[in-house]
A = this chain, B = another copy of it.
């Protein structure tokens, strides 16, 4: 199977997530990085491109130029990874979608709800594959949790507890010139949400992914604890799902002792499930009235859903990069399927609609919190 020609927008030197995307694209050998616009000046971009061994003429200082030229090249890129700060997701994605180039975009989808809606339409018009890297959905035991819930292992869901605490913004790191903290706390580049946008969207998406429940409404109490910060750094959110299930969501960037403590717990009429990102190869399952089982990736309790996205034997931990790579590999499957005119059946890949939901989640949190925690619905 020939590798898909991939370009990248963003992800130059000092960026964190760009390197992650490149490893993820490479891990299962389905993509080849051949072009990029890694920075906002041609000079910086070329330097990063050289680091990565790209041909100089495939490295651009402007993503529109890149989209135009790559769209015309005979062996131009087939797909692009967009890993810029949030506010650039929309304008960048639009250019590539316009030319039928598949898009793999970091989350949240956009920095504003208006942009998100426009991007949904741009994606629909384009017909190209659009994948949003809600990477946590690529973990094998998250896949298994979803499959088990769908199969009724926990019964009708009653309660969902989801949280994503971190501690890296406990102090005003953005004032020190740290690049990641800088744009992530800048509403112009990040959007109206701070912790809600950066990690709350992951938590919300994970709860949605595992349970399949649709949100009815939420009530949010957002806080900004670090003086001078312009976006929320902690959020307490109550959730009401459409069929009567209820939930709580906590996102925080100011909780000392937490690194990337994403965790989801689902409780239904006949069982419970628990999964934590920092211990991703285990899924804790309790059929009500029986002892808790520790299901392990590739172990005796692992299901087909987990096995399909698992690479190595049980007890050999797979981690964040493997889960991220699964998103890329399934994106490759979807792109190949489209190329072949075959159906993909890859209903599990997060897409532009999930992205819209994520941005709407942030918007709803901000609206609710401004109304002192009133219940609001997603403005989809």
Contacts and interface: CB of A to CB of B under 8 A. Distances in A.
B166 A315 contact: yes
B316 A234 contact: no
Contact of A256 (B246, B278, B288): B288
A291 B286 contact: no
Given A219-B373, A256-B287, A259-B299, A317 B315 contact: no
Contact of A159 (B171, B254, B314, B322): B254
A320 B314 contact: no
A62 interface: no
A213 interface: no
- Most chain-B Cβ atoms within 10 A of its Cβ — which of A247, A272, A291? A291
Nearest to A180: B313
A264 to B, nearest CB: 13
6 contacts: A167-B272, A258-B272, A259-B296, A290-B300, A291-B295, A317-B320
Interface in A183-227: 219, 221, 223, 225
Interface stretch (A6-14, A15-23, A71-79, A337-345): A15-23
Interface in A235-258: 236, 238, 240, 246-248, 250, 252, 254-258
A205 B260 CA distance: 29
Contacts of A285: 257, 291
A41 interface: no
Interface of A is mostly: loop
Interface residues of A, number: 88
Interface in A261-287: 261, 265, 267-272, 274, 277-281, 284-287
A375 B221 CA distance: 11
Closest 4 A-B residue pairs measured CB to CB?
A259-B315, A257-B286, A260-B315, A291-B301
Given A16-B313, A293-B293, A315-B166, A270 B246 contact: no
Contacts of A292: 257, 293-294, 296
A319 interface: yes
Point out which of A250, A258, A267, A280 has the most chain B C-beta atoms below 10 A from its C-beta.
A267
A23 B19 contact: no
A259 B314 contact: yes
B313 A259 contact: yes
A254 B279 contact: no
Contacts of A265: 255
A49 to B, nearest CB: 13
Contacts of A98: none
A39 to B, nearest CB: 20
Contact of A257 (B27, B219, B225, B274): B274
Nearest to A161: B250
Interface string A16-45: 100110110011110000000000000000
A318 interface: yes
A234 B159 CA distance: 8
Contacts of A3: 53
A20 B317 CA distance: 13
A307 interface: no
Given A236-B238, A272-B255, A299-B259, A223 B158 contact: yes
A248 B246 contact: no
Given A159-B234, A261-B315, A321-B321, 14 more contacts: A3-B53, A26-B26, A29-B53, A236-B246, A236-B247, A238-B373, A255-B272, A257-B285, A258-B272, A279-B317, A281-B319, A291-B293, A291-B295, A319-B319
